[in-house]
Amino acid sequence: MADRSAVKDALRAQRIETPSWGYGNSGTRFKVFAQPGVPRDPFEKLADAAQVHAATGVAPKVSLHIPWDRVEDYGALAAHARELGLEIGAINANVFQDDDYTLGSVTHPDPRVRRKALDHLLECVDIMDATGSRDLKLWFSDGTNYPGQDDISGRQQRLSDALSEVYGRLGDDQRILLEYKLFEPAFYTMDVPDWGTAYAHCLRLGPKAAVVVDTGHHAPGTNIEFIVAFLLREGKLGGFDFNSRFYADDDLMVGAADPFQLFRILHEVNGNGGFAPEAGVAFMLDQCHNIEAKIPAIIRSVMNVQEATAKALLVDRSALAAAQNAGDVLGANEVLMDAYATDVRPLLAEVRAETGRDPNPVAAYRAGGWAEKIVAERVGGAQAGWGA
């Protein structure tokens, strides 16, 4: 049986990074449904993120997305985060919302456009220097829509050239986290479509480059936990963009569509040392909350990750290994399912109570009056990334 106090220690130590863009208005290509009280600037996004950390105790880091979070002084923004008990997490580059990037950014056929995109990536490293961020998260919407449109392998060379130049700019304690996505917005080829492509580029770059697994970025039915186990074994899992999906990159609350898959992923994280700080795995959310209230949705997402983590940590690893080594198929499966079937909410409630928090973070948030306060104070909330 897993050691209950060790599980509680691990749950207390867990850190889940929330996305600045998850607090602002977002939507689909059909409509952005504005919500009252959303942040009007990155400082207010941090104020909302502080509510999530206060309620959960495990979300002190906030990812930024540039230019959605552009400010005059990133050092001041980082200082503001610290005043709120937070810190700035990954810096996400954005080379997917400029007309110049119609045919791609770093892989564009025009060297002028490639230079412009590369300059933005380098600017993001400057921002990391100012915020103290470790990770530069790179997702490229680059790709083609029609056979013959461009040279598939030529685009890989352009990508490699750009990544190498950014990699050369990194400080000793900084990393590139390269994120892949099977399709959208390009529909014939994406230049970083899958984990193999991302892995190969990270391998070529060196030890300060690793892969980001966004759980919404695979073909239906993909065994994501296999990818996670493989990348962890290779020391090339940089982190997650957690969300859930029913059909595509739906960006719904993580764990809401398939909590069993989330458990299986975190079971592989646990089994391959991925929860150890030295593994350097960033557990980030990347969600939109198009129709649901933003802050409670992020709290719920954090809770969903905590619950799946608790279940994964409760797996009786010695019984599992014994059954696996004995070729006891049903016995091994039963060990895993026994942990998954455990209601871990009382355990998490205990951990929260022991850290002076309400056992129910969503209820605590709702009772705190923050939602009413920001609706009254914040008139004309900013569009997050989608409307920027």
The smaller minimum CB distance to ligand PSV, of residues 56 and 141, is found at 141
Query: Can residue 286 be called a binding residue for ligand PSV (CB under 6 A)?
Result: yes
Sheet holding 61-65, edge to edge: 18-19, 61-65, 87-92, 135-139, 175-179, 209-214, 237-242, 282-285
| DSSP bridge partners of 213 | 240
Q: Using CB atoms, what's the residue nearest to ligand PSV?
A: 139
Query: Can residue 17 be called a binding residue for Mn ion (CB under 5 A)?
Result: no
Give how many residues touch ligand PSV by CB under 6 A.
10
Six-digit token pair at 213?
């697994």
Q: Which of 142, 150, 179, 307 binds ligand PSV (CB under 6 A)?
A: 179
Q: List the single partner that 92 binds among Mn ion, ligand PSV, none, CB under 5 to 8 Å by kind.
A: ligand PSV
In the complex, what is the shortest distance from the CB of residue 147 to Mn ion, in angstroms, rounded to a whole number?
A: 25
Q: Which stretch binds Mn ion (CB under 5 A): 13-21, 102-110, 113-121, 278-286?
A: 278-286
Question: Distance (Å, rounded) from C-alpha 198 to C-alpha 214?
Answer: 12
Q: Which of 44, 142, 214, 268 binds ligand PSV (CB under 6 A)?
A: 214
Strands (E), the chain: 18-19, 61-65, 87-92, 135-139, 143-144, 175-179, 189-190, 209-214, 237-242, 282-285
Query: Can residue 294 be called a binding residue for ligand PSV (CB under 6 A)?
Result: no
**341 by DSSP, 3-state: which?**
coil
The smaller minimum CB distance to ligand PSV, of residues 28 and 318, is found at 28
The smaller minimum CB distance to ligand PSV, of residues 21 and 199, is found at 21
Query: Can residue 181 be called a binding residue for ligand PSV (CB under 6 A)?
Result: yes
Residues 6 or more apart whose Cβ sits within 8 Å of residue 369: none
Question: Distance (Å, rounded) from C-alpha 27 to C-alpha 33?
Answer: 6
The smaller minimum CB distance to ligand PSV, of residues 178 and 310, is found at 178
Question: What are the φ/ψ torsions at residue 163 (nearest 5 degrees)?
Answer: -60, -40
Query: Can residue 142 be called a binding residue for ligand PSV (CB under 6 A)?
Result: no
Question: Distance (Å, rounded) from C-alpha 162 to C-alpha 205?
Answer: 11
Question: Distance (Å, rounded) from C-alpha 298 to C-alpha 202?
Answer: 30
Q: Are 281 and 238 in contact (CB under 8 A)?
A: yes
The smaller minimum CB distance to ligand PSV, of residues 140 and 365, is found at 140
Query: Can residue 249 be called a binding residue for Mn ion (CB under 5 A)?
Result: yes
The smaller minimum CB distance to ligand PSV, of residues 135 and 214, is found at 214
Q: Using CB atoms, what's the residue nearest to Mn ion?
A: 241
Question: Distance (Å, rounded) from C-alpha 1 to C-alpha 8?
Answer: 14
Question: Distance (Å, rounded) from C-alpha 272 to C-alpha 252?
Answer: 27
Q: Are 42 and 64 in contact (CB under 8 A)?
A: yes
Q: Which of 25, 56, 92, 215 binds ligand PSV (CB under 6 A)?
A: 92
The smaller minimum CB distance to Mn ion, of residues 19 and 37, is found at 19
Question: Distance (Å, rounded) from C-alpha 321 to C-alpha 335?
Answer: 10
Q: Which of 139, 180, 240, 275 binds ligand PSV (CB under 6 A)?
A: 139
In the complex, what is the shortest distance from the CB of residue 249 to Mn ion, in angstroms, rounded to a whole number?
A: 4
Query: Can residue 268 be called a binding residue for Mn ion (CB under 5 A)?
Result: no
The smaller minimum CB distance to ligand PSV, of residues 271 and 381, is found at 381
Residues that bind ligand PSV (CB under 6 A): 21, 92, 139, 179, 181, 214, 241, 249, 286, 385
